[in-house]
Structure 1
Amino acid sequence: MAEETRALQVREETRPARVERPRRVFAPAVDILETPEDILILADMPGVNQDNIEVTLEKNILTLRGTVQSHAPQGYDLDYAEYEGGDYERTFTLTEDIERDKIEASIKDGVLQVRLPKAGPARIRRIPVKAAA
């Protein structure tokens, strides 16, 4: 990773799931891209649409969750399956260098994009000093 990336780390959070789930939960494969202005997380979540996705930020933990709805033809029962369905969940720890109020997310064709804008560099500001009376 670039030197700048080391100062601004998006680290995967490894904490146990909070609740027991009846379905399997997969960690979606992600790509993390960086520019001087922001970090972009691309998460593969096939079968997930806008109504079944949740992106939350609690303290420094960014959580991506997606639910897949099963689509069995009406009147049929599943006898054999090679594809195992399930939901998606992935968490990351953000550093303080991310502007939390400007995080954006969108999904298209099963790929979730989360844009994490970087906070601007600390600006030096001269503070006037007044004589006390």
Structure 2
Amino acid sequence: MAQEMTTAARRQLAQTGETTRPAAIYRPDIDIFETADHVVLVADMPGVAPQDVDVTLERRVLTIRGRVPEESHEGYRKVYAEYGQGDFERSFTLSEEIDREHIEATHKNGVLTLKMPKAETAKTHKIGVKAA
């Protein structure tokens, strides 16, 4: 039964508060990568334009929102639909290891990328060993 559930249904979030649009809110698929100096978060938000992306950081909570414009198909009658129209939202709690002042966000082709530098205290430091 669980295998039959559509991807859109699995990604849909429960409405927990008031909304100004009668649309679903979906959890965007996220990949997180790490380098020695950065944590990189990549969010898939198809249909979201760069000007419709909102990234906020309040205290330690990073929230990503993407608004998809409403689409109507004039002159057509809907017979069947699997694509659910709605907005995207996802939140993360950042550790103290992230330098919050230097987070960079870019958006291209419906994909949001956040490059979050690690704080100096979180970076690995090599300690040289001297012969005694």
Structure having greater relative contact order (Cα 8 Å, sep ≥ 6): 1
**TM-score class normalised by the smaller sequence:** 0.7 to 0.9
Aligned residue number for residue 24 of structure 1 = 24
TM-score calculated relative to the size of structure 1:
0.72
RMSD: 1.9
Contact kept, 8 Å, 2:15 with 2:25, in 1: the verdict is no
How many positions carry a matched residue from both structures? 106
Amino acid at match of 1:45: M
Gaps in structure 1 of 5+ consecutive residues: 1-15, 123-133
1:3-82 to structure 2, matched below 5 A, reads 19-21=17-19, 22-73=22-73, 75-80=74-79, 81-82=81-82
> Larger helix proportion, structure 1 or 2?
2
Instruction: State the identity as a percent.
Output: 43
1: CA distance, partners of 2:15 / 2:96: 24
The Cα shift of 1:72 comes to 2.8
Could you say what secondary structure the match of 1:36 adopts?
Answer: coil
TM-score calculated relative to the size of structure 2:
0.73
1: CA distance, partners of 2:97 / 2:53: 25
Gaps in structure 2 of 5+ consecutive residues: 1-13, 123-132
